[in-house]
Amino acid sequence: MTLELQPPRSPVDTRHLPILPKSLKQSICRETERRCVDLYGNRLRAIILTGSLARDEASFSQNAAGWSLLGDADFLVFFKEHYSLPARAEVERVQREIEGNLSRRGIDCEIGLSVAQPAYLRKLKPHIFAYELKRHAEVILGEPTILSLVPEFTPADIPREDAWRLLCNRAIEFLGVICEETEVATAPSSQARYRTIKLVLDMATSYLLFAGHYEPSYRERAKKLRLLAERSSEQEPFPMQDFAERVDFCTRLKLLGFRSDEEPPTQDQEDAGLCWQKAVLYAVQLWRWEMRLLTGCVEPISDNQLWTELMRREPLRARLQGWLSLAKRRGFIAGCQDWTRLISHGWRASPRYFVYALAYELFHRLPSIVDAGQTGLDRYSDWDELRRRLPVSRQSDIPYRAPAWRQLAAEIVWNYQAYLVGTRA
């Protein structure tokens, strides 16, 4: 199995990731603020911008139609305590309206709105999201001190499982892009390259938290990894010097682009820095390393044994909460159709753990599957068996003639988006 990409069929312009234009960020914030104020007026207490856009670490690409935000623009919309929250369907409609208004102004952007009351902030537990929210979120409307409601805690208080979940989530999002591409081995799309960047950058986030050196921004993480690489040991999950160089390269692409006074990388340099097969290899090694630390396993054991031990350690309460969350999202009638699956799966692990375990099964096979080409994609015989382990099974949107691994990937991504995104259960 080779870990190097062949040269793309057409040059890829790495300058599609420029320095964040402040005017684009302002336009997105103002349109979101305007629409929310029009609809909810004095019911609002604050609107907060979160994520990479708030940190000025988001990436935009330019095309003939205008600009596209690579990733989402995420907002928390807080209502005053004595007002009820709008239904999810209404919030989704507002998201689409904001996206449509921005599109007509030449800005292609996915908007994420989460509605809550201030008590949500007071109840936040130590997690990566809460830590970065308190330190980097931006109040664009309303009470400027509302983030002071978030309890104080340090990176040392963040549970390691939170970093492991981040790695799992990025791997699944990467699967969602790769399973839709037919020429990823020779000519990965701009979306595949962007997902490779995100995978590498959040591998750095996950690793640093496990190693006790977490930093809350891409720039700080790249700097920290360069320092750690100078004194790495054999206990690391992968060659630290090479990993730190890849993180540094991806950080430059994500945040800075290539200025006119810089010499742009050659195609060979870019292919090496964004080699998705190598990123997947390192992600699998990190995945195993983190699971060993979470389970306390010191002796060499198989992947299946690692997952079994990890599931065994999941608290019963967390398993029940996960299945109750799934049932709530599916609705009672649809949920009743899955009682046999709940009975057979529920006692073993939560839906989240099942989705993560199946994602790992497919993810670590990706390089060899893609290298095999169209003639060898289905040489593994257990795809259907793996699909039966998913929390919810449905008829895939992938054409039925598509290879079984692509169908499995589509099912994994659908379960993740439908039942895991937006909840900690």
Sign of the torsion formed by the C-alpha atoms of 323, 328, 331 and 333: positive
Q: Which domains does the chain have, with CATH numbers?
A: 22-156 (3.30.460.10), 170-277 (no CATH), 315-419 (no CATH)
Q: Is residue 1 predicted with pLDDT exceeding 50? A: no
pLDDT at residue 5 in the model: 29
Q: How far, rounded to the nearest angstrom, does the alpha carbon of residue 408 sit from its chain's CA centroid?
A: 19
Backbone φ and ψ for 240, nearest 5 degrees, come out as -65, -35
DSSP strand pairing (66-79 vs 107-116): parallel
> 48 vs 33, 110, 139, 300, 353, CA distance in Å?
10, 16, 4, 46, 31
Count Cβ neighbours within 10 Å for each residue of 18-57 and write b for 16 or more, e otherwise. Answer: bebeeebbebbbebbbebbeeebeebbbbbbbbbbbbbeb
pLDDT at residue 331 in the model: 73
State both tokens at 368. Answer: 């060899």
Closest CA to 179 of 412, 392, 395: 412
Q: Is residue 143 predicted with pLDDT exceeding 90? A: yes
pLDDT at residue 343 in the model: 62
Count Cβ neighbours within 10 Å for each residue of 376-408 and write b for 16 or more, e otherwise. Answer: ebeebeebeebbebbbbeeebebeeebbbbbbb
Are 289 and 173 in contact by the 8 Å Cβ rule? The answer is no
Q: How many Å apart are CA 49 and CA 51, to the nearest integer?
A: 7
Are 88 and 113 in contact by the 8 Å Cβ rule? The answer is no
Q: Is residue 210 predicted with pLDDT exceeding 50? A: yes
Q: Is residue 236 predicted with pLDDT exceeding 80? A: yes
Q: Is residue 103 predicted with pLDDT exceeding 60? A: yes
Q: How confident is the model at residue 23 (pLDDT cuts 50, 70, 90)?
A: confident
Write the pLDDT tens digit of every residue in 363-384.
Answer: 998 888 877 664 445 555 677 7
Q: How confident is the model at residue 405 (pLDDT cuts 50, 70, 90)?
A: confident
Mean pLDDT of 191-209: 92
Write the pLDDT tens digit of every residue in 147-179.
Answer: 999 999 999 999 999 999 999 999 999 998 877
Write the pLDDT tens digit of every residue in 42-66.
Answer: 999 999 999 999 998 888 888 778 8
Q: How many Å apart are CA 121 and CA 50, to the nearest integer?
A: 13
Write the pLDDT tens digit of every residue in 176-190.
Answer: 887 777 666 556 677
Write the pLDDT tens digit of every residue in 310-319.
Answer: 999 999 899 9
